[in-house]
């Protein structure tokens, strides 16, 4: 796996990998580890939004719905231009989840030197993530680590519906652009991560320019 990671790192340079999936599909788990192994920076739109909600005292996500696009542009897109991210590769978790936002994300990332070079979809079904939600929420408070807007079933269902209605068109667009990589997310964490690395390696290998004839 180390050789594959080194190859991916050389291909990615200061570019970005954007990871999508249903809530509780494992996006952040995969993203954090991938960023660590690639020496990249991890950015989650959810984490940024919750930090901005705290800073502005403007709660926008408690009902499970995505934030309005104008706020997304105001809060998220400037991150690509941050000085501390220059010359860094980025691993993104669902940055640009509403149809149309992906175009602005791609443009902002590219202009900042972090071109989106691949998009990973962790494929799970609503039934799969519902089972995960039930397991996590059956644990005691000391073991339960779900975010606030995942603690009620109704809100979690809203998040699933938001993904199906607003984010699936984003994923379809990336697929049309030949940037999408699909990984079976309904497996144990180690297997999902290993298959993500394999898929990225194969994608990167096929993305390399053909050698010039001498």
Domains, in order of start, for the chain = 2-204 (3.40.50.300)
Q: Which residues of the chain have pLDDT under 70?
A: 53, 55-65, 140-151, 208-214
The partner residues of 120 in beta bridges, in order of sequence, read 19, 181
Distance, CA of 125 to CA of 145 (rounded, Å): 21
Distance, CA of 199 to CA of 116 (rounded, Å): 16
What is the b/e burial string over 125-143, where b = at least 16 CB atoms within 10 angstroms of the residue's CB?
eeeebbebbeeeeeeeeee
pLDDT 10s digits, 149-192 = 566 888 889 999 999 999 999 999 999 999 999 999 999 999 99
What is the b/e burial string over 100-111, where b = at least 16 CB atoms within 10 angstroms of the residue's CB?
ebbeebbebbee
The overall pTM is greater than 0.75: yes
Q: Name the residue among 19, 175, 22, 166 with its Cα closest to residue 100.
A: 166
- SS3 of residue 26 by DSSP: coil
213 contact partners, CB below 8 Å, separation of at least 6: none
200: tokens are 């990225």
Look at residue 44 in the predicted model and tell me its pLDDT: 87
Where do we find the tokens 């994923």? 171
Look at residue 79 in the predicted model and tell me its pLDDT: 87
150 contact partners, CB below 8 Å, separation of at least 6: 23, 24, 133, 156, 159
């Amino acid at each position: 796996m180390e050789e594959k990671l080194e190859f991916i790192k050389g291909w990615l340079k200061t570019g970005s990998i954007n990871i999508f999936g249903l809530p509780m599909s494992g996006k952040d788990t995969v993203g954090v580890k991938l960023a660590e192994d690639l020496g990249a920076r991890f950015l989650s739109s959810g984490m940024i939004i919750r930090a901005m909600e705290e800073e502005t005292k403007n709660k926008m996500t408690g009902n499970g719905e995505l934030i309005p696009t104008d706020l997304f542009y105001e809060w998220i897109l400037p991150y690509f231009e941050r000085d501390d991210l220059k010359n860094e590769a980025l691993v993104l978790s669902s940055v640009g989840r509403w149809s149309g936002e992906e175009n602005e994300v791609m443009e902002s990332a590219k202009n900042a030197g972090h071109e989106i070079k691949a998009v990973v979809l962790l494929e799970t079904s609503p039934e799969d993530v519902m089972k995960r939600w039930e397991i996590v929420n059956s644990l005691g408070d000391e073991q339960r680590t779900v975010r606030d807007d995942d603690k009620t079933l109704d809100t979690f269902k809203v998040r699933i519906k938001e993904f199906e209605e607003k984010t699936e068109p984003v994923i379809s667009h990336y697929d049309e652009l030949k940037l999408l990589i699909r990984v079976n997310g309904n497996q144990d964490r180690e297997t999902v991560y290993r298959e993500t690395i394999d898929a990225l390696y194969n994608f990167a290998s096929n993305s390399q320019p053909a050698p010039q004839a001498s």
